[in-house]
């Protein structure tokens, strides 16, 4: 799994066949609860690239990320699926597992 620091760095990864992107914030408790789930999935799934982006305003704006954590599934650079966090709740682990099992 790669930690993305800039938009230019993200551009090098996003065009892979299958990329799961976690938008999170290190200060967000919901992100901290979800991060181990994402990291575990990255270790088990060798068919997809996994990247995480910590609180990057430019990339969040570009992909309309309003709440943390949010997961995007990209196919060759295009958003194919996404799971957005619910305010005050975070991300649903079951929905994420359904997404990853469908890949």
Q: Are 1 and 39 in contact (CB under 8 A)?
A: yes
Identify the bridge partners of residue 70 per DSSP, sorted by sequence position. 23
CATH code of the domain made up of 2-101: 3.40.30.10
Q: Is the pLDDT of residue 103 over 90?
A: no
User: What is the model's pLDDT at position 88?
Assistant: 84
Structure tokens at 50: 């996994």
| Spatial distance between the Cα atoms of 57 and 48, rounded to a whole number of angstroms | 25
Cα radius of gyration rounded to whole Å, the chain:
12
The predicted-structure confidence for 13-70, as pLDDT tens digits, reads as follows 887 889 999 999 999 999 999 999 999 999 988 888 999 999 999 999 999 999 999 9
pLDDT at 75 over 80: yes
């Amino acid at each position: 799994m790669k930690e993305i620091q800039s938009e230019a760095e993200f551009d090098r990864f996003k065009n892979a066949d299958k990329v799961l992107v976690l938008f999170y914030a290190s200060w967000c408790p919901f992100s901290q609860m979800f991060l181990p789930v994402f990291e575990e999935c990255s270790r088990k799934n060798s068919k997809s690239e996994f990247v995480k982006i910590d609180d990057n305003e430019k990339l969040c704006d570009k992909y309309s990320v309003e709440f943390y954590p949010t997961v995007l599934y990209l196919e060759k650079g295009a958003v194919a699926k996404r799971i957005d966090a619910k305010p005050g709740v975070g991300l649903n682990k079951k929905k994420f597992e359904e997404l990853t099992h469908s890949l």
